């Protein structure tokens, strides 16, 4: 097996399941290298989790759904795999009712024990134990799910630690600014991808791993539309602010206006004067970079101000279909800058790619597709039970693991949430 850290930038499609497992485990661990135990333990809000909790929860996932169920072949323990610590599932089960009781979500930051070092030892133990199962073909779908799960938590770890460090008036940097990837911003007017409309095939093409919420594949009728060939920029957002966008009631959804007023929102999250907070501390904003850390409410109001609208998830996917090969660049993602053999600070930098930089809000509600059935067993709770009141986001962000996303991928968040790298791409009717 190649050294997982030196192959961090490798094309996921060329790797075996065992290599992707090792790579993903190592990538998450490399992200906490710059953190102290205290950094990794704090929880800044209910939506965000401590870095240490992400390290542990993804390990709990392998123990619970793979090793506990199928670890009979585990070489290290006669009579099967034994839980590393029987009390820890109560701490690190996220939301699986079928797996029993757990601590409340906003108590995750109270876990000063186990220590970061103990969690890393548990990770090493579970990574080693999993080696006995990685070649088992009957388990490959579940292992692929575990890898995709850990990749989702790599992104959440990055966005959650950013939010935690932001709370500190010292504005601590997690990485040096010179580790950030070079930017290739798109300047000038946006162009448009035009689509004549018609019947589009939407959803999982069953050509590799997909989450259950991406299927089944089905037909959707599209009217003629156009999708912008680049993301909305920081400079354009500054014009929206200068034009009084946050105070112009006619631009806002009613729920959005109430949210703006109650929370005194006047700019994207992480903005102050001409700076924004990043994993490299406070930095001057680049007006040509894509705007990020906005809510659905803000994205919708901006689109109204710009005389456009948000795309539906189906329109976005119809344009993206065929452009999502794993070999295509998913720009500036969590691994883009690690020629140094290290994870690098995620920073959106712009360009004409559909994937990468930021997740893009669609105007589609996160609902089951016709014929949707959640996966069987406890992992059936993974996606389906969250199909209420959330928005679908498409693409991938600068914090998404390379190769993790695809045209049919459906990310989802509530309309007020904006601590992920969220942005927008305009659409219009033709
Ligand atoms: C798809 C990012 C909304 O954050 O709950 C992690 C990802 N699912 N563990 C979430 C997820 C199970 C999910 N999001
Ligand atoms: Fe999870």
Structural domains counted in the chain: 2
Single out the residue in 131, 166, 201 at which a domain terminates: 166
Overall average pLDDT of the 188-212 stretch: 93
Nearest bound ligand to CA 214? 1
CATH of the domain at 106: 1.20.120
Q: Are residues 282 and 372 in the same domain?
A: yes
Contact 323, 387 (CB under 8 A): no
Ion ligand 2, residue ranges at CB < 5 A: 94
Q: Are residues 133 and 243 in the same domain?
A: no
- Res 339: pLDDT: 39
Domain that holds residue 334: 177-429
Question: By alpha-carbon position, which residue is closest to atom 1 of ligand 1?
Answer: 411
- Res 180: pLDDT: 77
Token pair 């205290």: residue: 38
Ligand 1 neighbour 149 (Cβ under 6 A): yes
Token pair 């630690």: residue: 161
Q: Is the pLDDT of residue 326 over 70?
A: no
Q: Are residues 340 and 278 in the same domain?
A: yes
Q: Is the pLDDT of residue 8 over 50?
A: no
Pair type for strands 275-278 and 422-423:
unpaired
pLDDT tens digits along 101-112: 999 999 999 999
Q: Are residues 12 and 54 in the same domain?
A: yes
Q: Is the pLDDT of residue 301 over 90?
A: yes
Q: Are residues 365 and 390 in the same domain?
A: yes
Q: Is residue 105 part of a domain?
A: yes
Residue-by-residue DSSP string for 90-124: HHH--S-GGG-----GGGGGG---S-HHHHHHHHH
Q: What are the structure tokens assigned to 428, written together?
A: 């219009």
Q: Distance, CA 411 to ligand 1 centroid (Å)?
A: 8
Q: Are residues 142 and 191 in the same domain?
A: no
Q: Is residue 171 part of a domain?
A: no
Q: Is residue 141 part of a domain?
A: yes
pLDDT tens digits along 121-131: 999 999 999 99
Q: Are residues 155 and 40 in the same domain?
A: yes
Ligand 1 neighbour 156 (Cβ under 6 A): yes
Q: Are residues 239 and 360 in the same domain?
A: yes
Q: Is residue 63 part of a domain?
A: yes
Q: Is the pLDDT of residue 261 over 60?
A: yes
Q: Are residues 241 and 328 in the same domain?
A: yes
CATH of the domain at 420: 3.90.1580.10
Mutate to test the pocket of ligand 1, among 147, 149, 156, 401 (most ligand atoms within 8 A of CB): 156
Overall average pLDDT of the 364-373 stretch: 98
pLDDT tens digits along 60-98: 999 999 999 998 765 555 668 999 999 999 999 999 999
Beta bridge partners of 202: 218
Ligand 1 neighbour 411 (Cβ under 6 A): yes
What CA–CA distances, in Å, run from 183 to 15, 19, 357, 402?
28, 30, 11, 17
Q: Which of 3-7, 56-60, 138-142, 306-310 has the lowest mean pLDDT?
A: 3-7
Single out the residue in 134, 166, 198 at which a domain terminates: 166
Ligand 1 neighbour 391 (Cβ under 6 A): no
At 336, the pLDDT band (50, 70, 90 cuts) reads very low
Question: By alpha-carbon position, which residue is closest to atom 7 of ligand 1?
Answer: 152
Q: Is residue 243 part of a domain?
A: yes
pLDDT tens digits along 155-186: 999 999 999 999 999 999 999 988 777 666 66
Q: What percent of the chain has pLDDT over 70?
A: 89
Overall average pLDDT of the 192-208 stretch: 95
- Res 11: pLDDT: 54
Q: Which of 1-15, 70-84, 130-144, 347-361 has the lowest mean pLDDT?
A: 1-15
291: helix, strand or coil: coil
Single out the residue in 147, 166, 185 at which a domain terminates: 166
- Res 65: pLDDT: 96
Ligand 1 neighbour 383 (Cβ under 6 A): no
What mean pLDDT, rounded, does the chain reach? 90
Q: Distance, CA 195 to ligand 2 centroid (Å)?
A: 36
Q: Is the pLDDT of residue 145 over 80?
A: yes
Q: Are residues 144 and 191 in the same domain?
A: no
Q: Are residues 307 and 417 in the same domain?
A: yes
Overall average pLDDT of the 383-392 stretch: 97
Overall average pLDDT of the 183-210 stretch: 88
Q: Is the pLDDT of residue 413 over 90?
A: yes
What's this model's pTM, rounded to 2 decimal places? 0.94
Q: Is residue 351 part of a domain?
A: yes
Q: Is residue 172 part of a domain?
A: no
Beta bridge partners of 222: 198
Q: Are residues 152 and 181 in the same domain?
A: no
Question: By alpha-carbon position, which residue is closest to atom 8 of ligand 1?
Answer: 382
């Amino acid at each position: 097996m190649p050294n997982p850290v030196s192959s961090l930038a490798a094309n996921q499609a060329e790797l075996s399941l065992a290599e992707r497992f090792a790579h993903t485990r190592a990538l998450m661990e490399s992200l906490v290298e710059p953190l102290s135990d205290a950094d990794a333990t704090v929880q800044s809000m209910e939506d965000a989790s401590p870095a240490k909790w992400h390290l542990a929860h993804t390990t709990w996932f392998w123990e619970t759904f793979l090793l506990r169920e199928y670890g009979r072949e585990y070489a290290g323990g006669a009579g099967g795999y034994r839980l590393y610590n029987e009390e820890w599932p109560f701490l690190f089960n996220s939301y699986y009712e079928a797996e029993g009781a757990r601590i409340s979500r906003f108590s995750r930051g109270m876990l000063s024990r186990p220590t970061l070092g103990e969690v890393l030892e548990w990770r090493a133990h579970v990574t080693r134990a999993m080696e006995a199962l990685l070649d088992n073909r009957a388990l490959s779908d579940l292992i692929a799910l575990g890898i995709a799960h850990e990749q989702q938590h790599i992104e959440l770890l990055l966005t959650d630690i950013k939010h935690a460090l932001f709370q500190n008036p010292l504005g601590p940097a997690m990485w040096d600014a010179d580790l950030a990837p070079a930017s290739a911003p798109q300047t000038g007017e946006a162009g448009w991808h035009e689509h004549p409309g018609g019947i589009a095939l939407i959803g999982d093409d069953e050509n590799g791993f997909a989450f259950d919420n991406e299927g089944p594949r089905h037909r959707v009728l599209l009217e003629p539309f156009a999708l912008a060939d680049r993301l909305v920029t920081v400079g354009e957002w500054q014009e929206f602010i200068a034009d009084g966008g946050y105070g112009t009631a006619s631009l806002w959804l009613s729920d959005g206006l109430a949210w703006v007023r109650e929370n005194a929102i006047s700019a994207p999250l992480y903005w102050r004067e001409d700076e924004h907070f990043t994993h490299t501390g406070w930095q001057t904003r680049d007006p040509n970079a894509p705007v990020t850390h906005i809510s659905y409410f803000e994205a919708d109001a901006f689109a109204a101000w710009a005389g456009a609208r948000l795309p539906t998830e189906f329109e976005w996917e119809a344009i993206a279909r065929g452009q999502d090969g794993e070999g295509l660049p998913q720009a500036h993602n969590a691994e883009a800058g690690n020629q140094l053999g290290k994870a690098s600070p995620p920073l959106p930098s712009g360009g004409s790619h559909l994937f990468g930089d930021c997740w893009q809000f669609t105007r589609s509600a996160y609902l089951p597709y016709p014929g949707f059935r959640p996966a069987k067993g406890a992992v059936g709770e993974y996606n389906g039970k969250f199909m209420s009141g959330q928005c679908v986001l498409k693409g991938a962000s600068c914090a998404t693991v390379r190769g993790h996303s695809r045209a049919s991928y459906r990310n989802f968040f509530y309309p007020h949430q904006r601590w992920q790298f969220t942005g927008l791409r305009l659409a219009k009717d033709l």
